[in-house]
């Protein structure tokens, strides 16, 4: 807004005052532009550089004359330049209100780094494009930190993958060991059952008949008492083995279990009757009850074969 004094100036005086204000504005603008920590550049409407500040020249290691036109591009890293030019052209063609890009520079002196560019179009009063104003910010430090973090993340991911593979391998080995242990335990159980059956068979086929014969020739209370103690001891020893059959055939009485075990061993009715000192009719009755309780009453199934097929455990 002009002062009242200015309004009464003649044209020449007014022109001199406007020129003075314009010079002052240019000086202030020059100080701001040249003193900025950012690289500043102006491009014309054809996207050709027409001005760069001192910071831009120092950052890109170029003189002002070298940077004008397309000269600034000589400092952009060769691997990043094609993509940068392609994106710049697209932004200009599409009228983007802001173009932003991060790219590497490689100065003739050997200095390399990263910059972030931000460019905005400048429009005239009629909306036409007058040019473009842009800034460059040094971001080498941030990019270096990002690369360090990325490498650190890769190292951690690799360690996680290695540890995961190691744990999977250990899991596989543990599974193999577990399977082997199950085999060993099953074999041990089979060996134990086989041993029990062998002990039971020896007691009933060898020791028990010998005791029967011994009882037939030994007389007297002392001998009878000793034989009774031996028989009781053998029964206590073999009782757990007999109870294995009872877990499968839980409906059998103790006497029927005893008869069933002798049948499994291959003894006939007369042999069982002699062993247990009962009549053959009693054994026949037990056999009948065993078949009935096992569901073999009306089947033509061999009782001994059926009992042998039972799991003794």
Question: CA 219 to CA 225: how far, in whole Å?
Answer: 10
**Quick one: pLDDT at residue 119?**
94
At 257-279, the pLDDT tens digits run 888 889 988 899 999 999 889 99
Binned at pLDDT 50, 70 and 90, residue 1 comes out as very low
| 179-236 pLDDT tens trace | 888 888 888 877 777 777 677 667 766 777 777 777 777 777 777 888 788 878 877 7
pLDDT in tens, 48-78: 999 999 999 999 999 999 999 999 999 999 9
Given pLDDT bands bounded at 50, 70 and 90, which one contains residue 12? confident
DSSP state string for 291-312: HHHTT-TTS---HHHHHHHS--
Q: How far apart are CA 88 and CA 120, in angstroms?
A: 11
- The answer to whether 64 and 57 have CB atoms below 8 angstroms apart is yes
Whole-number pLDDT of residue 2: 47
Least confident span in 36-40, 166-170, 206-210: 206-210
Residue 175 main-chain phi, psi, to 5 deg: -65, -40
Q: Which residue has the tokens 């807004």?
A: 1
* Beta-ladder partners of 99: 119
- Cα–Cα distance between 109 and 260 in angstroms, integer? 103
pLDDT at 291 over 70: yes
Phi-psi region of 290 (alpha: psi -120 to 50; beta: other; left: phi over 0): alpha
Distance separating alpha carbons of residues 122 and 43, to the nearest angstrom:
10
pLDDT for 40 equals: 92
Rg of the chain over all Cα atoms, to the nearest angstrom: 54
């Amino acid at each position: 807004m002009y002062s009242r004094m200015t309004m009464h100036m003649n044209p020449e005086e007014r022109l001199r005052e406007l020129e003075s204000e314009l010079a002052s504005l240019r000086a202030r603008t020059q100080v701001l532009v040249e003193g900025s920590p950012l690289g500043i550049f102006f491009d014309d409407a054809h996207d050709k550089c027409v001005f760069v500040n001192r910071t831009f020249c120092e950052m890109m290691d170029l003189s002002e004359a070298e940077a004008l036109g397309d000269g600034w591009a000589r400092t952009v890293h060769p691997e990043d330049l094609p993509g940068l030019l392609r994106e710049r052209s697209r932004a200009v063609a599409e009228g983007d209100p802001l173009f932003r890009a991060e790219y590497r520079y490689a100065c003739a002196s050997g200095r390399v780094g990263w910059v972030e560019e931000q460019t905005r179009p400048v429009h005239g009063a009629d909306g036409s494009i007058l040019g473009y104003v842009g800034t460059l910010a040094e971001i080498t430090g941030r990019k270096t930190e990002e690369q360090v973090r990325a490498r650190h993340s890769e190292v951690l991911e690799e360690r996680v993958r290695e540890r995961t593979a190691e744990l999977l391998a250990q899991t596989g080995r543990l599974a193999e060991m577990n399977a082997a242990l199950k085999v060993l335990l099953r074999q041990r159980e089979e060996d134990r059952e086989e041993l029990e059956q062998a002990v039971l068979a020896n007691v009933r086929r060898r020791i028990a008949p010998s005791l029967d014969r011994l009882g037939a020739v030994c007389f007297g209370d002392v001998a009878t008492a000793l034989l009774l103690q031996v028989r009781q001891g053998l029964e206590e020893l073999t009782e757990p083995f007999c109870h294995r059959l009872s877990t499968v055939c839980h409906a059998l009485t103790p006497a029927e279990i005893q008869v069933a075990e002798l049948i499994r061993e291959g003894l006939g009715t007369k042999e069982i009757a002699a062993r247990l000192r009962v009549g053959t009719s009693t054994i026949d009755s037990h056999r009948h009850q065993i078949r009935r309780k096992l569901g073999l009453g009306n089947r033509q199934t061999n009782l001994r074969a059926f009992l042998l097929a039972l799991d003794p455990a």
